[in-house]
Amino acid sequence: MKTVYINGYFTKERIYGVPRYAMEIVKRIDQYFKPGEAILVVPRNANKVPRLSNIEICTWEDRGRKREVSGPIWGLFVYGSYVRKRKGLNVNLTNRAEWVQDSITTIHDTILLQNYKYPFHFSFKERIKVKFGQFIDKIWYKSKIFIKECTAQKLVTVSEFSKAELCGNFHFKSKNVAVIGNGWEHINNIEERDEQADSRIIEKNYFFFIAKLNPHKNLQWVLEEAEIMKEYFVIAGRLPDNIVDGLKEKKNIIYLGHISDSYMKYLLKNCKALLYPSYIEGFGIPPLEALALGSKAIVSDIPVMHEIYADSVYYIDADRGNIDLNEVLSMRIDSAEKILSVYSWEKAAKQWFDLIDSARE
């Protein structure tokens, strides 16, 4: 039976989104392995290594390395080489790539391959920088998909929507693609803290939006809503200075910038509703976190949101702003309990172990 090696590069990344998926699965899949059956290989300067009982931790010192590369090439030339020499089964829970023939690997979404345009003004220098960044991202993402096509005996993605995208646009066979979604239990382990960043933030009197500049997140829709609504719109996340300056001119927009997970939990729990008007997602964890905290979520009327959240959230047209959100919230929806029971890290970890167990014989 082959030893299982898990790509642990996520242990040096900020834990949200894809790294969150990897961290939560590893912590929970640990219980299913016997000692010596699985090894988590972590890079130099890994500072978020989970405490595990059965999965061994292999650090860069253990591998006898005085120096070690970082970034995308770590998987290809450090971790990948390490696993190949030991003829192990490679398990990758993130979008990263490594050239190991016996692999169970993951692609969470195809967002980087989309061609959404930024609705904001950029200087010529900024436009060149953005377009060059998008160009490089697409090339590297397609390269990773090519590597995974060549090496994966089983591919995992997080929704049926993403599976259809991958099978329809690339050479993945449906029978070789498993769907294992996200969970929400991690939110219970985050300490809730009101950091009182702004006195205007009053419970149930604001809409909450987690911002990224990525055009598919649809910040423009939120800004259009803020124009017609009286409530405050609290926006958290890093944005460029030129956009931040514009936000500060809006009287009912409270821009917080980057905030702690503890304050994020507080804002999610006490908002009038989370706004999630994305054009595309692989899964979308924030609405699940909001539901777990007893809050409401207003999401885009797109296939993946219906697949994951069914009738437990409120739907809006991501291309149509200037709608009355209070009217949207007056509509009846189903309880979140069914969704929370379907998607959990515990269930996802068991699915992952069964997949790995069947592949290592």
Residues 148 and 172 in one domain: yes
**What is the reported pLDDT for 241?**
80
Residues 306 and 228 in one domain: yes
**Residue 306 in tokens:** 């219906």
CATH of the domain at 17: 3.40.50.2000
Mean pLDDT computed over 48-73: 90
Q: How far apart (Å, rounded) are the C-alpha atoms in residues 98 and 176?
A: 18
Residues 331 and 349 in one domain: no
Residues 104 and 193 in one domain: no
Residues 220 and 355 in one domain: no
Residues 313 and 276 in one domain: yes
Residue count of the chain: 361
Residues 214 and 261 in one domain: yes
Q: What is the DSSP letter of 190?
A: S
3-state secondary structure of 154: strand
Q: What is the pLDDT of residues 241-291, one digit of tens each?
A: 878 888 888 889 999 999 999 999 999 999 999 999 999 999 999 999 999
The number of distinct structural domains making up the chain is 2
pTM given for the model: 0.93
pLDDT grade for 64, boundaries at 50, 70 and 90: confident
Q: What is the pLDDT of residues 123-168, one digit of tens each?
A: 777 778 878 888 888 999 999 999 999 999 999 999 999 999 999 9
**pLDDT at 70 > cutoff 90:** no
Q: Do the Cβ atoms of 288 and 304 come closer than 8 Å?
A: no
> What range defines the domain where residue 245 resides?
186-342
Q: How far apart (Å, rounded) are the C-alpha atoms in residues 225 and 206?
A: 12
